[in-house]
Amino acid sequence: MGVASVIVYSSTVQNRTSILQLQVGLSAIARSLQKELTEIASTTDTSTAKGWNIILEETVSSLLHHPHCYLHGYSSVTHHWTVGSAEQQFQRLSKEERLKFDVETLVNVNNIKRQRAVVPNGDKGDKDRIVVTVLVAAQGAHKLPTINTTDNVKEALQYLADISSSKIKGVEVLWSPQDETDSLSVEELLENYPQMRRI
Segments of the chain scoring below 70 in pLDDT: 1-14, 45-47, 102-125
Q: Which pLDDT does position 131 carry in this prediction?
A: 95
Distance CA 129, CA 110 (A): 29
Q: Which pLDDT does position 4 carry in this prediction?
A: 45
Q: Which pLDDT does position 114 carry in this prediction?
A: 52
Q: Please write the tens of the pLDDT for every residue from 119-176.
A: 555 555 578 899 999 999 999 999 999 999 999 999 999 999 999 999 999 888 999 8
DSSP H or E run through 112: strand 112-115
> Chain-wide mean pLDDT for the chain?
84
Sign of CA dihedral 136, 23, 60, 34: positive
Q: Which pLDDT does position 176 carry in this prediction?
A: 87
Inter-residue contact 6 to 132 (CB < 8 Å): no
Whole-model pTM over 0.95 = no
Q: Which pLDDT does position 83 carry in this prediction?
A: 86
Domain boundaries along the sequence of the chain: 2-198
Q: Which pLDDT does position 140 carry in this prediction?
A: 94
Distance CA 117, CA 43 (A): 17
